[in-house]
Structure 1
């Protein structure tokens, strides 16, 4: 195992540990908040976050990725990038302050939505402090520090602040305070660890050079925002705030564990892949191996969540969220397709080639707009819009695969085999859990059924890891030292 591989493996362990710990807190937190607040509260917060998230990509400018991807980085470069982050963050906040009333009008929301948007947007100038620091931590492969800062920020800044505010009767504003507290800590803690110079350097030619790459990353992030939140905006505008709340909680339940896994991997893989960006054969092999791992984990996990959606919604969210049950499997599958495509985009970003990503996201956005218009014209409701989201993610993933197959022709066969194995395994998991529910439904309460399903899924997963040597993803995990020794004998 090379030194780079060893560091990357350790980084993935730390990233997954932080993700698992966050998920362990997120689940009870969501269960409590779902009972303290209403679907309308979550729907209003989901709509309020749309405008700041829209501007967030311009505020960041892809600067953290630019810090990681640049072949060489000097102290002068750090000062230039910090000046860019400060400028973009301040200007973006001013823009959001001005357009907040128009965002409220577009979403058909109450007047309170304008104030919520403006408070959430305070995170953009604050983000200038953490953008460079986070990039420096990633560039230095200080994965343990990244994991600890993210976990601490989430627990204290987000969950702690939001839960305390909700218990004190703040209502929907508890979600706003939690989001702001999370942003503050998420940007302050990395800076405390790095302590880079806070003297901005306004060197226009150097700024222009940084933005050649960072601007493309930012544009891609903006299009990802549009494709991710277009459905939420459409639902809030044409179906209602309560429906947007059901969608928001269903999306969280369906994709949160999947997203945690993929984001943890992406944070580690971008610095690692960037260091071998000019070694095409090695990069292609890493892409094939990572795809095998990603699909083998995400698709079966989606099957577990989708097949258990009724029990998960009942236990974690409560009876008032029953309308989310049918949305979870659709959103979960769309989430898996989107996250696998996101990893493919990380490979291109590590190579410094982000133009094709821009085209792919534009095509996906076109599919979403056309599909939504058709669904509304035909009188389709919430479920029809979810199908449009699923089709858009399928188109996006197909285009990414076609692009990377052209970049790395030798990976076509192993990547195709990885998808086939992951699909077959997810089908096996779904059938097994459906059989458990069929046997126990009507005679056992929901908690017992859920425990039985999770136990069956755990047994299947252990069997696959212990005896699934024919699965490419399992072989990769064994070779990279990602599995305990007892499962590799």
Structure 2
């Protein structure tokens, strides 16, 4: 049985993951705007549509088996090898299906010109799934430091290569090469650092115990995928590749803070919540603390980006993208609204509440798709982003109710605790907007507007957090001071 994980172990792994994502963030902060200046909205749209299909099929091909490996208490080699070959077989079948029906899928998604990209990018499916077992072994051991270094190396190398190719005029192929090089480097690295060597062992009966876990998880993962990727498909089909490209570029940039924090935190919290077992108080304390911390970090970044979206779009992406600044701003708002929900998925997944996770995800997916499709059909891209904000506001209340009900946390008390930092960040964003409006005649240069808005926002949010989050800051400070104390002692004091 895996050892019980304490706050010290969890925070150490989160620290490694965040460090990795922060390094990647620094590079993406530079490379995404550079690529946007060198490529066209149509380039971004074509690759984004093709990648959506690839990611969906890769998720279906994995069938959630590698997630089940993370929490498999037996962990015998026969099960591991069987999952590897089952994963690889499904990946190859999905790749062949995508290659064969690429023309039909491209037309269905409103991007017939992306068919050739679908055929090429079909190879990404086995590249991505072939490394999942090696990653699961690292996750089961809570060994995220090596994966953190590998993620940084693969993402940075791929991004630099993409910028170089775009500069020399390779166009859309710069984005394609970025995807393949990142996947290949990560695949080789995972096998090197995990030490896993596949053997040809195939015992289908070993998959049966895992399927009880994967059945609920797969449904929710499909629904979550639809939630996050359906806007791209709807926009491409109803508004065209140019608007899809504008959405893709803005979403890439607006998602960078989420990629830094959420991808790091969620990867660690899933096995951590699972290992906490039936200790409800411990789980509830960990849920509330992790939610508060992620909201404190993410909400100001999102609302701050909304506040300076107009000059930021011009400064970062160039004049050809300036028209899309409302899209960037509204995407930032939509992501800010659901920051308190950032830990809910790994919590429900790790504590075995598959049905709650499934139905919450399904309802959100349907609402998101219908709202954006209706807004895009009757309006334009900006209307679609407004609809996304409305759906996410409803999602905040719905997800919070479902999660707090699982551990008998009072709804309004829990919502107030987890959302307080989000409201503080909203107040900061409104303050920055008012400041820029009041000094518009003095701040005529977009670079000055971005710099001044960033400084004012940082100072204002710092003051507001010191006023509203003293208890949280005190708890974090105490945890840092007690790093040398045994994990169980740290937990009892958290």
- TM-score w.r.t. the length of structure 1 is 0.91
Structure 2: tracts of 5 or more residues without a match: 484-494
Change (3 A) 1:141 1:411: farther
Instruction: Quote how far apart the aligned CAs of 1:206 are.
Output: 1.2
2:202 matched to which residue of 1?
202
Quick check: 1:12–1:265 contact (8 Å CA) kept in 2?
Answer: yes
Change (3 A) 1:469 1:420: closer
Change (3 A) 1:470 1:332: closer
Q: Distance in 2 between matches of 1:411 and 1:476?
A: 21
SS of residue paired to 1:66: helix
2:108 matched to which residue of 1?
106
1:181 matched to which residue of 2?
181
2:491 matched to which residue of 1?
none
Aligned match of 2:73 in 67, 71, 74? 71
Stretch moving more, 31-40 or 288-297:
288-297
Instruction: Quote how far apart the aligned CAs of 1:174 are.
Output: 1.2
1:4 matched to which residue of 2?
6
Instruction: Quote how far apart the aligned CAs of 1:271 are.
Output: 2.0
Q: How does 1:457-472 map to 2 (within 5 A)?
A: 457-463=457-463, 467-468=466-467, 470-472=469-471
Change (3 A) 1:250 1:122: same
Aligned residues: 479
Stretch moving more, 292-301 or 190-199:
292-301
Quick check: 1:296–1:473 contact (8 Å CA) kept in 2?
Answer: no
Q: Distance in 1 between matches of 2:341 and 2:183?
A: 26
1:248 matched to which residue of 2?
248
- TM-score w.r.t. the length of structure 2 is 0.91
The alignment yields a C-alpha RMSD, in angstroms, of 2.3
Q: Distance in 1 between matches of 2:258 and 2:7?
A: 24
Change (3 A) 1:142 1:40: same
Instruction: Quote how far apart the aligned CAs of 1:64 are.
Output: 3.1
Q: Distance in 1 between matches of 2:286 and 2:193?
A: 30
Quick check: 2:294–2:342 contact (8 Å CA) kept in 1?
Answer: no
Q: Distance in 2 between matches of 1:353 and 1:87?
A: 29
Instruction: String of CA shifts for 1:221-279, please: whole Å, max 9, x gaps.
Output: 22212121111111111111111111111212223213321111111211221210321
Quick check: 2:103–2:112 contact (8 Å CA) kept in 1?
Answer: no
Change (3 A) 1:250 1:483: farther
Instruction: Quote how far apart the aligned CAs of 1:175 are.
Output: 0.5
2:480 matched to which residue of 1?
481
Quick check: 1:33–1:163 contact (8 Å CA) kept in 2?
Answer: yes
1:190 matched to which residue of 2?
190
2:275 matched to which residue of 1?
275
Change (3 A) 1:452 1:483: farther
Q: Distance in 1 between matches of 2:423 and 2:196?
A: 49
Instruction: String of CA shifts for 1:355-413, please: whole Å, max 9, x gaps.
Output: 22221222123223433454355x21112222232233334333321221211113645
Instruction: Quote how far apart the aligned CAs of 1:472 are.
Output: 4.7
1:487 matched to which residue of 2?
none
Q: How does 1:116-155 map to 2 (within 5 A)?
A: 116-155=117-156
Q: How does 1:229-378 map to 2 (within 5 A)?
A: 229-338=229-338, 340-376=340-376
Quick check: 2:291–2:341 contact (8 Å CA) kept in 1?
Answer: no
SS of residue paired to 1:326: helix
Stretch moving more, 90-99 or 410-419:
410-419
Change (3 A) 1:480 1:448: same
Instruction: Quote how far apart the aligned CAs of 1:280 are.
Output: 1.6
Change (3 A) 1:64 1:391: farther
2:417 matched to which residue of 1?
418
Instruction: String of CA shifts for 1:300-331, please: whole Å, max 9, x gaps.
Output: 22111100111211111011111221112321
Instruction: Quote how far apart the aligned CAs of 1:439 are.
Output: 4.1
| Residues 1:50 and 2:52 aligned together | yes
Q: Distance in 2 between matches of 1:161 and 1:339?
A: 32
Change (3 A) 1:482 1:246: farther
Quick check: 1:84–1:207 contact (8 Å CA) kept in 2?
Answer: no
Q: Distance in 1 between matches of 2:338 and 2:418?
A: 14
Instruction: String of CA shifts for 1:30-65, please: whole Å, max 9, x gaps.
Output: 121111111111111111112111201112222332
Q: Distance in 2 between matches of 1:58 and 1:391?
A: 29
Instruction: String of CA shifts for 1:152-204, please: whole Å, max 9, x gaps.
Output: 11011x21231222223211111111111111112221111112131142211
2:489 matched to which residue of 1?
none
Change (3 A) 1:461 1:143: farther
Quick check: 1:161–1:178 contact (8 Å CA) kept in 2?
Answer: yes
Stretch moving more, 121-130 or 26-35:
121-130
Change (3 A) 1:441 1:174: same
Q: Distance in 2 between matches of 1:139 and 1:159?
A: 29
SS of residue paired to 1:409: coil
Instruction: Quote how far apart the aligned CAs of 1:212 are.
Output: 2.5
Instruction: Quote how far apart the aligned CAs of 1:469 are.
Output: 6.9
Structure 1: tracts of 5 or more residues without a match: 485-489
Aligned match of 2:33 in 31, 34, 41? 31
Change (3 A) 1:401 1:482: farther
Instruction: Quote how far apart the aligned CAs of 1:282 are.
Output: 1.0
